[in-house]
Amino acid sequence: MEMDEKDIPIDAEQKIDPQIELVFGRKIALSFLALDWKYKELALKIIYKQTDKYLDVQARHEENTHSIEDIVKASAAAVSLTSREKVIKVFSVSLQLLNLMISS
């Protein structure tokens, strides 16, 4: 993402998901705590692209920095955080990510 962590307005009462932070980075993990839904949508799109790319690479048996279990756990955590989202754009991308994981 092209932003500084300080630029993301977050809900201070929530905690960062450690699995998302481990696999996708701190900015992505912070985006799920954002007060603005656009950060969540962007984070989900990035996770979708990275997961899709990882699964393609996995199919070709190339080396990866994270295991398939780590990717799936972090992606599932992202879906869990956004599956009750009231903003339809965020919810839609969340369902697309879930569909990617299920169909792969």
pTM confidence score:
0.86
- Residues 15-71 have pLDDT tens digits of 999 999 999 999 999 999 999 999 999 999 999 999 998 877 665 555 667 888 899
What pLDDT score does 68 carry? Answer: 84
Tokens of 97: 């990510």
What pLDDT score does 5 carry? Answer: 73
Residue 3 has pLDDT above 70, yes or no: no
Confidence bin at 6 (pLDDT 50/70/90): confident
Long-range contacts of 49-57 (CB under 8 A, 24+ apart): 50/24, 51/75, 51/97, 51/100, 51/101, 52/100, 55/100, 55/104
What pLDDT score does 76 carry? Answer: 95
